[in-house]
Amino acid sequence: MGENAINSKKSVAVMGIVNVTPDSFSDGGRHSDAEAAVAHGLRLLEAGADMLDIGGESTRPGAAPVSEAEELARVIPVIAGLRARCDAPLSIDTMKPAVARAAVAAGAGIWNDVSALRGGPDALEVAAGLACPVVLMHMQGDPRTMQSAPHYRDVVEEVESFLLARAEAALEAGVERGAIWLDPGIGFGKTTEHNLALLAALPRLVAHGYPVLLGASRKRFISALDPAAQTPDARLGGSIAVALAGAAAGVAAVRVHDVRETAQAMLVQAAVASARER
């Protein structure tokens, strides 16, 4: 068997995270300055990211909302700066339709909305008008309160029906079917058991035919499973384990902080999967 029989392509896209927030989940605001955030994004692309997700409002548990003006001031210079220096798809991580619109005008091509187009009365209409891919994510409650007492009768069924209903609403508003992505929202109003149930059920979400984005990088439930890993940057092993579980389930993309390590894991995973098929 020649070298060229070896699959050297990963089948899962790696979305690198560029948080432009002073109180980000995990980078402690080190990239809050626009130039530093642009440089960070370019490093993630060099490290193997297929696209970048730029966000200016922290959604960490307990985080307070930021104003539209503040969010725009954080993200627009970063998107414009990255657009001037790279061709990679750029995603805007926002719940605000006006921020999504300005970000797309500045060069973003994907709207990642953790509120699944519920962030304003015009969200569905704006998404249809932008005509770009939109990520619909499940969240119970809002970031300020979501981890206080997450509760579900059947978490898998409820997340699945919520996402399908939001996809339906987007379709009705005129968003193209091929532009809709789904995301179970790991850590957004979920206990460790809820997160694990959703990860175990990923094939069921994937089976609906929409590309699925999975974001579990450095999230707190990893520390619940490994109490020795209390800080976000001690959660790399767990983050990669979740990305591999996502790849095995057929997700389209993983949203991660540790791009180099995750991209390598996805390459090896794809090579093993294709050797299994031979």
| 137 forms part of the interface with ligand PMM (CB under 6 A) | yes
Look up 255 and say whether it is catalytic.
yes
Phi, psi of 87 (to 5 degrees): -105, -5
215 in contact with ligand PMM (CB under 6 A): yes
Which window, 77-85, 126-134, 212-220, 237-245, contacts ligand PMM (CB under 6 A)? Answer: 212-220
Q: How many CB atoms lie within 10 A of CB 237?
A: 12
| Pairwise CA distance, residues 209 & 88, whole Å | 24
**Starting at the edge strand that comes first in sequence, how are the strands of the sheet with 134-137 ordered?**
180-183, 134-137, 110-113, 90-93, 51-55, 13-19, 253-256, 213-214
Asked if 101 is an active-site residue, the reply is no
Give the Cα separation of 179 and 128 in Å (integer): 10
The yes or no reply on residue 114 touching ligand PMM (CB under 6 A) is: yes
Nearer to ligand PMM, 112 or 262 (CB): 112
Question: How far apart are CB 134 and ligand PMM at their closest, in Å?
Answer: 10
Q: Which is nearer to ligand PMM, 1 or 260 (CB)?
A: 260
Q: Is 37 in the site for ligand PMM (CB under 6 A)?
A: no
**What is the SS3 assignment for 254?**
strand
Q: How far from each other are the two terminal CA atoms of the chain, in whole angstroms?
A: 11
Residue 134 CA to residue 136 CA, distance in Å, equals 6
Return the DSSP state at 111. Answer: E
123 contributes a contact to ligand PMM by CB under 6 A: no
- 195 contacts ligand PMM (rule: CB under 6 A): no
Q: Are 108 and 70 in contact (CB under 8 A)?
A: no
Catalytic residue selected from 10, 166, 190, 219: 219
| Three-state DSSP state, 182 | strand
Which among 255, 260, 276, 278 is annotated as catalytic? Answer: 255
Residue with tokens 């605001």: 29
Q: How far is the CB of 271 from ligand PMM (least distance, A)?
A: 26
Q: Which stretch binds ligand PMM (CB under 6 A): 16-24, 148-156, 157-165, 258-266?
A: 16-24
Distances (CA, A) of 271 to 7, 212, 213, 264: 5, 21, 21, 11
Q: Which stretch binds ligand PMM (CB under 6 A): 17-25, 99-107, 170-178, 220-228?
A: 17-25
SS3 136: strand
Q: For residue 213, state whether it binds ligand PMM (rule: CB under 6 A).
A: yes
Q: How far is the CB of 91 from ligand PMM (least distance, A)?
A: 8
Nearest distance, CB of residue 228 and ligand PMM, angstroms? 20
CB of 93 or CB of 128, closer to ligand PMM: 93
Which of 37, 38, 49, 59 forms a contact with ligand PMM (CB under 6 A)? 59
User: Which residues of this protein are in contact with ligand PMM, per CB under 6 A?
Assistant: 17, 19, 24-26, 59-60, 93, 112, 114, 135, 137, 183, 185-186, 213, 215, 218, 255
Q: Hey, which residues are catalytic here?
A: 219, 255
